[in-house]
Structures are given as structure tokens and as C-alpha cells.
Amino acid sequence: MNDLENGDVGRQSGELKPLPLGVKGLAGWLVLVQIGLYLTMITLLVQIFRVNLPAFEPDTWGVLTSKDSELYHALWRPIIVFEGAYNIAFLLFCIFILVMFYTRKSILPKLMIIFYGASLAVGIIDTILVYQIPLAREMETGSSFTDIIRSAITCAIWIPYFLKSERVQNTFIK
């Protein structure tokens, strides 16, 4: 009779052997999550330095927000501020998530769900606001809608993963 038949689960030849806990650790599909977070940070930094900060320079700001300008629209000011503030806040949020990720905090799955959901929601809100400005609508190449679809697909994949994954449960929850 072997050890399993006589009820000694986890024992072999009289030695106590720990039972496996299943998949655990920052490997597997979580590697893609890590890569995505780092790529998001790089993208946000590029966006901040190439788009957001230049929009606050006096010449650009004046052309878009001065009522005397041909390019003026009342929504330019709140959109520029909203996008700049969001990009900076989201960059800081990515850093916070990575700290929680590598310290394996139990709040990480909730943070990732917020991360993906907020990214989709802000993308939709930003697109709706930008489309209210005729000049911005004319310059749109369809990339905003592509970004929204990409974000929705990302949510459809990763939110269930963080809710149901055995690796996520074993790494961050247990």
C-alpha cells in the first residue's frame, strides 16, 4: 500500500514533504503585466514631455486659449489641463502599482483593475471632449477610437485575469 492509500498525503518514505501550492510568483502572464506597466510609463513620459508640457508654453497656450485667436475654443483650456494632470497622476499611479507589485501586496489585483478601468474611462472621456473642438475633430486620424478599442480589449483580458487567476491569488492574496 502506498502513502496516498493509507492517508499520508505529503509523505514519502517517512519524510514530511510540503504540498505544492500551485503556481505562484511574478512569472507566467504577470511578466506581460510588468512589461505593460513599464511601457505605459515610457509612453506617459513621452506624452508629458512632447505634448503636455509644450501645450503650457506661453505661445501655444495663448494661441489655443485666447479669445482673440482663430484657434480658440472654450474647451482647449480644460482639456489641456485635464490631459496634463491625468498623465502625471497616471505615471505616479504606475510607479505606485509597481512598488505594490514587487512587494506583493494584497491590494495589487484591485489596483490593476482600477488601472485598466480608469485607462478605458479616461480615454473615452478625453475623446468625447476633444471631439467637441472642430479643429481637433478635423485633425483626428481615428487613433482615439483605435486606442479605446485596444483599451477595451485589454480590460476584457486582464480584469478577469486579476479576478480569477490562480497565480494572482497565490502571489498577492494568500
**Res 8: pLDDT:** 44
Report the distance separating Cα 1 and Cα 110, nearest Å: 47
Determine the structural domain holding residue 162 and report its residue range. 24-173
Are 45 and 91 in contact by the 8 Å Cβ rule? The answer is yes
What does each C-alpha distance from 111 to 34, 67, 83, 105, 122 come to in angstroms? 13, 41, 21, 10, 16
Overall domain count for the chain:
1
User: Does the residue 4 lie in any domain?
Assistant: no
**Res 117: pLDDT:** 98
User: Does the residue 37 lie in any domain?
Assistant: yes
For each of the chain's 174 residues, which pLDDT tens digit applies?
444 444 444 445 556 655 456 888 888 899 999 999 999 999 999 999 999 999 999 999 999 999 999 999 999 999 999 999 999 999 999 999 999 999 999 999 999 999 999 999 999 999 999 999 999 888 888 889 999 999 999 999 999 999 999 999 999 987
User: Does the residue 13 lie in any domain?
Assistant: no
pTM of the model: 0.82
User: Does the residue 118 lie in any domain?
Assistant: yes
User: Does the residue 2 lie in any domain?
Assistant: no
Are 159 and 96 in contact by the 8 Å Cβ rule? The answer is no
Q: What values do phi and psi take at 11, rounded to 5?
A: -115, 140
